[in-house]
Amino acid sequence: MRFTCLKENLVLGVQTVAPTALRSGGLPVLKNIHISVEAGKITFTTTNLELGVQHTVRGKTEEDGSCLVPAKLFLDLVSLLPEGTVTVTLEESGLRIATADTSSSLHTIPEADFPIIPSLENPKNEVEFLISDFVEGLKKTQFSVGRNEQRPQFQGVLLVLDGQTVCFAATDGFRLAEAKGKIATQEGRVQCIVPTSAAQEIFRMLGSLSGSVKMALGENQACFLFDQTVVTTRLVEGDFPEYESLFPVGGTEHVVAVSALSKAVKATALFSRGGSSSIGVTGNADGSLDVHAESSEVGFHRTKVPATGPAGTGESITLNARYLLDILAVADGKVVVHLLNADRPVLVTPYEAAEGNNWRYLIMPIRG
């Protein structure tokens, strides 16, 4: 195996795939990067058995072949190479990496135990998203994914493709986030649950990119293609809960600045009982919001947050402060806080939703 490429291309390829290997548990072989030169393509591959990431690097190939190298060492090394051309050669002694002024040789690992990433069989329902829409959908939902192994259907982000709309949704049973965006026309309604690990990796990789991302579905797999990268993942089995009836109807709508509400919640959470993060939210008669907490260990805190809206009921609704802060961290400008009563969920929506790209967030109250 022998190829030559620019350092920046080599670094991009390794940085794209390495995090999957570095976060892999279990088998030691998964902590490595598979390098392959075949049919004029230079491909880097990593997998954690649930997720596979492949990135094709631009360069000149001279001899086909493949090998396996430690991900962390390879990542650290290529990041420190001088700018310019890098020549990579597989020799009997190891993988030689050479530039005009440096030369290194890495011990390789036997390839026999490295798992083969299964290709997507009978792909269907291929659809294309703008990367900006896809990133926004994940940004507004993935923090709500559950981690309860007894409820696997909560351990991923739901994607529903219907007509020209894509809906992202995630829940842990205590809060639910939903975001909608646009896609190219999809015939019929199709849905799948993308595992948390895959959603997080795709979100990381797409963060600095523009253009489009393509998705194709198989029987129990999904494949995402963008910028010389292919991500293949198993899908979560199970049925995502029907949640439409959970959204409250009626109540009062309070328009409040994200920055002001976020500061109030952070300060109030310091006074929550036993570090439980529970706080009270009350709609006042003048439309403003009270955010308050009291504990015997710490004391009492209250912030009156300026807001516009109808007169509130004055009834305190107890919420988990962390759940409220999660959505405020990814919201912009102003939000609308919908309050009904202490037994009904609190709904948070954007004050000005972007055309074709909207979201809503539901937080279940803490009772008792």
Q: Which residues does residue 67 pair with via DSSP β-bridges, in sequence order?
A: 35
CB 46 within 8 A of CB 23: no
Q: For residue 113, is it within any domain?
A: no
| Pair (240, 251) in one structural domain | no
Last residue of a domain, one of 203, 219, 244: 244
| Pair (147, 258) in one structural domain | no
The per-residue pLDDT for 356 is 52
DSSP code for 357? B
pLDDT at 77 over 80: yes
Domain containing residue 174:
124-244
Helix (H, G, I), strand (E, B) or coil at 310: coil
How many structural domains compose the chain?
3
pLDDT in tens, 189-198: 889 999 999 9
| Pair (238, 252) in one structural domain | no
CB 85 within 8 A of CB 5: yes
Q: For residue 114, is it within any domain?
A: no
The per-residue pLDDT for 368 is 65
pLDDT confidence band for 123 (50 / 70 / 90): confident
| Pair (67, 56) in one structural domain | yes
Residue 332 CA to residue 182 CA, distance in Å, equals 20
Residues 6+ apart with CB under 8 A from 122: 218, 219
| Pair (97, 133) in one structural domain | no
Last residue of a domain, one of 213, 244, 275: 244
Which of 10-19, 163-172, 182-191 is predicted with the least confidence, judged by mean pLDDT? 182-191
DSSP string, 217-245: E-SSEEEEEETTEEEEEEPPPSPPPP-GG
Which of 97-101, 147-151, 178-182, 241-245 is predicted with the least confidence, judged by mean pLDDT? 147-151
Last residue of a domain, one of 176, 211, 244: 244
| Pair (234, 147) in one structural domain | yes
- What is the four-CA torsion angle of 350, 327, 23, 115, rounded to 10 degrees? -40
More confident residue, 353 or 294: 294
| Pair (253, 238) in one structural domain | no
Q: Domain of 56: which CATH number?
A: 3.10.150.10
Tokens representing residue 302 in the block: 């209250």
Residues 6+ apart with CB under 8 A from 267: 301, 303
Q: For residue 14, is it within any domain?
A: yes
| Pair (216, 310) in one structural domain | no
Residue 272 CA to residue 176 CA, distance in Å, equals 23
| Pair (7, 53) in one structural domain | yes
